[in-house]
Amino acid sequence: MESAEKKTQISERAIDQSLSDFIQSELNESAEVKLNVASALSQVLADVTSLIIESLRNGGKVLLCGNGGSAADAQHLATELVSRLEMDRPAISAIALTTNTSLITAHSNDFGFDSIFSRQLEALGKPGDVLIGISTSGNSENVLQAIRTASSMNIMTVAFSGREGGLITKLADYSLVVPSHNTQRIQEAHIAMGHCMCALIERAFFANTGAHDA
């Protein structure tokens, strides 16, 4: 008859294997989504990156917005441009519209949450800028309003979305729709595309200027 200690060891091994199987399954699924993105969206992402490079060369800037994990992605990508990604170099002009908590809470309290990004665009945006709106569903109302406002100001608009794309794809000039219905996989693909974009922007301006990898 098995001892209680041996049964515990067998049970713990089974739990460890279950955890390992789950992790492997999740990582494989994430990799598969990224491979699908590489196949379906590389050219669109290249076009968007070229658009942003042209905007920056003409004195424009990149504005980004989103909610929750997409807000974190907006801040992450703005930081890669302003601070650095692969090399030490001068700053690249980018602003995440998700970081001013006093403005966001005051405006939400007085006027509602749906216009927190569009209001900032009115103050900070100018023709020739590029707005990146990030929404895994493509239907976040405050991101949609930001896209509409940007279009009215002659600001080019880019949608990072997922699932079927959502309403944002009907409003934005360019759409990058991750082919997945899993929010985590969509967000992982968004940040992977964002890293590609930031790396290409950085290289376009500083690869031959003496800036160096750190």
Residue 64 has pLDDT above 70, yes or no: yes
How far is Cα 184 from Cα 173, in angstroms, rounded to an integer? 25
Per residue, the 3-state secondary structure of 85-106, as one string, reads: CCEECCCCCEEECCCCHHHHHH
Q: Is the whole-model pTM more than 0.85?
A: yes
Q: Is 182 exposed, middle or buried (0-12, 13-18, 19+ CB in 10 A)?
A: middle
What pLDDT is attached to residue 12? 61
| Residue at 20 is within a domain | no
| Residue at 14 is within a domain | no
| Residue at 11 is within a domain | no
| Residue at 3 is within a domain | no
Range of the domain at 121: 41-213
Domain count, the chain: 1
Residue 211 has pLDDT above 80, yes or no: no
| Residue at 48 is within a domain | yes
Q: Please count the other Cβ atoms lying within 10 Å of the Cβ belonging to residue 2.
A: 9
Look up the CATH number of the domain holding residue 150. Answer: 3.40.50.10490
Least confident of 20-24, 55-59, 65-69: 20-24
| Residue at 118 is within a domain | yes
| Residue at 172 is within a domain | yes
Using CA atoms, how far residue 143 sits from 86, 98, 120, 166, in Å, is: 29, 11, 12, 12
Predicted confidence (pLDDT) per residue in 132-147, tens digit: 999 999 999 999 999 9
What pLDDT is attached to residue 6? 59
| Residue at 2 is within a domain | no
What pLDDT is attached to residue 8? 59
How far is Cα 128 from Cα 117, in angstroms, rounded to an integer? 18
Alpha helices in 130-182 (DSSP H): 141-152, 168-171
Residue 188 has pLDDT above 90, yes or no: yes
Structure-block tokens of residue 88: 């030490």
Least confident of 60-74, 99-113, 159-173, 198-212: 198-212
